[in-house]
Amino acid sequence: MPTKWRRRALLGATSTVVVVALALGAAGYYYSGLVIDPVHTSNYPIEVVAVGDGRITLKGGLDTDAPGFYGLTWPGGNVVLGETISVGAGTVTRELDKVVRGDLRPGVFGYLDRGLWSEGTPRDVGVPYENVEVTSPLGAFPAWRTEGASDTWVIAVHGRNGSRGEALRVIPTLRELGHPVLAITYRNDEGAPASPDGRFHLGDTEWEDVRAAMDYARTQGARKFVLYGWSMGGGISAVAARRLPGAGITALILDSPVLDWRSPIAEGARQMGVPGFLTTVGQWVIMGRTGLSFDDLDHVEHAAEFDVPILIFVDHDDATVPVDRARAFAAARPDITTLVETKGGGHTGSWNVDRDLYEKALTEFLRSPR
DSSP symbols for 301-359 = TTGGG--S-EEEEEETT-SSS-THHHHHHHHH-TTTEEEEEESS--TT-HHHH-HHHHH
For residue range 302-339, what is the model confidence (pLDDT) as tens digits? 999 999 999 999 999 999 999 999 999 999 999 999 99
Task: Measure the CA–CA gap between 51 and 89, rounded to whole angstroms.
Answer: 17
Please determine whether the domains at 46-113 and 122-367 fall in the same fold group of CATH. no
Give domain 122-367's CATH superfamily.
Alpha/Beta hydrolase fold, catalytic domain (3.40.50.1820)
pLDDT at 15 over 90: no
Name the 3-class secondary structure at 212: helix
Alpha helices in 107-182 (DSSP H): 171-176
Q: What are the phi and psi torsion angles at 202 (to 5°)? A: 60, 30
Domain limits of the chain? 46-113, 122-367
Residue of 79, 128, 123 lying closest to 100 (CA atoms): 79
For residue range 214-231, what is the model confidence (pLDDT) as tens digits? 999 999 999 999 999 999
pLDDT bucket at 17, cuts 50 / 70 / 90? very low
pLDDT bucket at 280, cuts 50 / 70 / 90? confident
For residue range 184-224, what is the model confidence (pLDDT) as tens digits? 999 999 999 999 999 999 999 999 999 999 999 999 999 99
CATH code for 46-113? 2.40.10
Q: Which amino acid is at 270?
A: R
